[in-house]
Amino acid sequence: MDFRQRHLRGALMLGTAFLAGVALAPATGALGRAVAESTGNAQMYTLLKEFGDVVERVRADYVQAPNDRELVENAINGMLTGLDAHSSYMNAKAYKDMQIQTKGEFGGLGIEVTQDNGFIKVVSPIDDTPAYRAGIKPGDIITALDGKTVQGLSLNDAVDKMRGPPNAKIVLTIKRAGLDKPLEVPLIRETIRIQVIKSRLEADNIGYIRLSQFTEQADPGVRAAIKSLREKSGGKMRALILDLRNDPGGLLDQAVAVSSDFISKGEIVSTRARHPEDSNRWNAKGEDQLNGLPLVVLINGGSASASEIVAGALQDHRRAILLGTRSFGKGSVQTVIPLPGSGAMRLTTARYYTPSGRSIQGLGIEPEVVVAETREEVASFGGDREADLNKIISNQGGTAPDTIAPRDDLPPIVSEIPKKPPEGFPKFDPLKPSETDFQLQQGLVLAKAMAARKSASAN
């Protein structure tokens, strides 16, 4: 697709700013209808006149002369952010930054954020970035930047303040669940070049692939990693673990392509818009890169948007077993519509549905095997999922989860996998993941059992 065809490159978005992730399809038809419907609406004309009166009064009497462009941009952003948690306005700079981010390289701290109750909320840090190394956690609330409150700032403005030249310092003030006092976290900005794929061969020839976000490198990276793991195992890889934990999403076409790396045919995802003619469906368009080898997918509350599309497709097709905790629950699609002033609007235009017809909006995806990351149940500050955000769109039009037949193909070992780590389990150490990552450990137990069962059935 290209702009000459008046289409936009497909992408999904979590309502965040440090990462790209917008969605979908032709914007002009829906926009044209909205204008046409408004044309005959006398009340709208009255309201627009009232808006114009306010603008003129501000221009004439505000204590200092305002910038006209800022006035209009702030008004547009207020209108869009008032709709839901993911619609917003991007000025020319923010729009350009978004386009750069989809390519997997940008400047800043390496942190995925959204806005909630006037503050900036961390969705997840990006692997191997300043934020990740400083211990920033999903759910952290950023209350101040260099000692100045973020209240009153739009999400784009707050993100812009966190950006800057490499080696420049910034101090984030953070409210973290379970702590009575705020944390002050000094960070040094870097040029963030995201390696969205990490892979390694675990014991017993179990492959492991970590996908941190769905940029343009996602599908090529997954394919290359599978090929590399096969070579490292001497062609004897027995199963694969796909780690989508804290993956906030990204490009829709990459979600479809990654799903197609494991599903050879059938639906991957569908979208339903306000107007039926704007609805769409994406089918698998590849072949199973594993040739039927067992697949385990790790998810948690930071797995959102494109991650949930992949997890939902693999779950509905019975191609993988999901292990971890319930996902974020972002089941909406945003369309990016370029505007004449070089900026763009990000507008929620549809809900998406898994192959079985489920809408996960506000619900998330429940794994077949529930395993907590830690033993402690820590109360959250401000909520951790889509359902906790202000002004979310409703869940409607989908197949009820309880009407879907339960799985009957789970290996017996599932009943023996503990739901949380034992007493005294070591704190997670990113340098020793196999020894300190409890969810990964249980994923390996499950993958080995699935591999053994497949081998037995083949003999």
Residue-wise pLDDT tens digits, 296-323 = 999 999 999 999 999 999 999 999 999 9
In a domain? residue 307 = yes
Is 264 tagged catalytic? Answer: no
Residue 104: which residues within 8 A CB-CB, separation 6 or more? 193, 194, 196, 213, 215, 216, 217
Query: How many CA within 13 A on the CB side of residue 401?
Result: 13
pLDDT band at 193 (very low <50, low <70, confident <90, very high): confident
- Out of 327, 330, 332, 448, the active site residue is 330
Q: Which domain holds residue 143?
A: 106-193
Helices (runs of H) and strands (runs of E) counted in the chain: 11, 19
Domain count, the chain: 3
Per-residue pLDDT averaged across 117-142, rounded? Answer: 87
Provide the pLDDT for residue 364. 92
Tell whether the model's pLDDT for residue 13 goes beyond 50.
no
Please indicate, yes or no, whether residues 161 and 278 belong to a single structural domain of this protein: no
Tell me which residue of 368, 446, 351 sits closest to 405, measured CA to CA.
368
Domain edge (last residue) among 35, 55, 86 = 86
Please indicate, yes or no, whether residues 313 and 281 belong to a single structural domain of this protein: yes
Other residues' Cβ atoms within 10 Å of the Cβ of residue 37? 10
Please indicate, yes or no, whether residues 177 and 210 belong to a single structural domain of this protein: no
Provide the pLDDT for residue 378. 57
Tell which wins on pLDDT, 20 or 270.
270
Please indicate, yes or no, whether residues 266 and 355 belong to a single structural domain of this protein: yes
Tell me which residue of 324, 332, 437 sits closest to 372, measured CA to CA.
324
CA dist list (Å): 178 to 139, 154, 182, 274, 378: 11, 27, 11, 41, 6
Per-residue pLDDT averaged across 439-450, rounded? Answer: 97
Tell whether the model's pLDDT for residue 53 goes beyond 80.
yes
Please indicate, yes or no, whether residues 398 and 379 belong to a single structural domain of this protein: yes
Please indicate, yes or no, whether residues 282 and 163 belong to a single structural domain of this protein: no
Domain edge (last residue) among 193, 218, 245 = 193
pLDDT band at 10 (very low <50, low <70, confident <90, very high): very low
Q: Which residue has the tokens 């191609």?
A: 319
User: Could you tell me the CATH number of the domain that includes residue 230?
Assistant: 3.90.226.10
Q: Which residue has the tokens 């869009």?
A: 80
Provide the pLDDT for residue 36. 53
In a domain? residue 96 = no
In a domain? residue 16 = no
Is 330 tagged catalytic? Answer: yes
Cα gap 324→314, rounded to integer Å: 15
Provide the pLDDT for residue 383. 56
CA dist list (Å): 376 to 269, 305, 364, 380, 420: 35, 27, 22, 12, 9
User: Could you tell me the CATH number of the domain that includes residue 187?
Assistant: 2.30.42.10
Interval 159-176: pLDDT, tens? 888 988 889 999 999 999
Please indicate, yes or no, whether residues 366 and 293 belong to a single structural domain of this protein: yes
pLDDT band at 102 (very low <50, low <70, confident <90, very high): low
Q: Which residue has the tokens 């009153």?
A: 152
Please indicate, yes or no, whether residues 291 and 374 belong to a single structural domain of this protein: yes
pLDDT band at 63 (very low <50, low <70, confident <90, very high): very high
Cα gap 366→412, rounded to integer Å: 19
Tell which wins on pLDDT, 33 or 377.
377
Domain edge (last residue) among 57, 86, 115 = 86
7 class by beta-carbon count within 10 Å (0-12 exposed, 13-18 middle, 19+ buried): middle
- Out of 316, 384, 388, 437, the active site residue is 316
Interval 366-418: pLDDT, tens? 999 999 998 876 555 555 778 777 777 888 888 877 777 888 999 999 999 99
- Out of 305, 307, 327, 332, the active site residue is 305
437 class by beta-carbon count within 10 Å (0-12 exposed, 13-18 middle, 19+ buried): buried
Say if residues 248 and 218 touch (Cβ distance below 8 Å).
Answer: no
Residue 44: which residues within 8 A CB-CB, separation 6 or more? 38
Locate 249 and state its tokens.
């999403």
Cα gap 209→223, rounded to integer Å: 10
Interval 325-348: pLDDT, tens? 999 999 998 888 999 878 899 999
Model's pTM, two decimal places?
Answer: 0.75
Tell whether the model's pLDDT for residue 24 goes beyond 60.
no
Please indicate, yes or no, whether residues 318 and 335 belong to a single structural domain of this protein: yes
Please indicate, yes or no, whether residues 212 and 300 belong to a single structural domain of this protein: yes
Locate 143 and state its tokens.
């209350």
* Eight-class DSSP state of 416: G
Is 204 tagged catalytic? Answer: no
CA dist list (Å): 434 to 97, 210, 226, 237, 437: 36, 13, 19, 18, 6
Residue 47: which residues within 8 A CB-CB, separation 6 or more? none
pLDDT band at 138 (very low <50, low <70, confident <90, very high): confident
Provide the pLDDT for residue 355. 96
Please indicate, yes or no, whether residues 322 and 353 belong to a single structural domain of this protein: yes
Please indicate, yes or no, whether residues 184 and 222 belong to a single structural domain of this protein: no
Locate 435 and state its tokens.
């020894």
In a domain? residue 14 = no
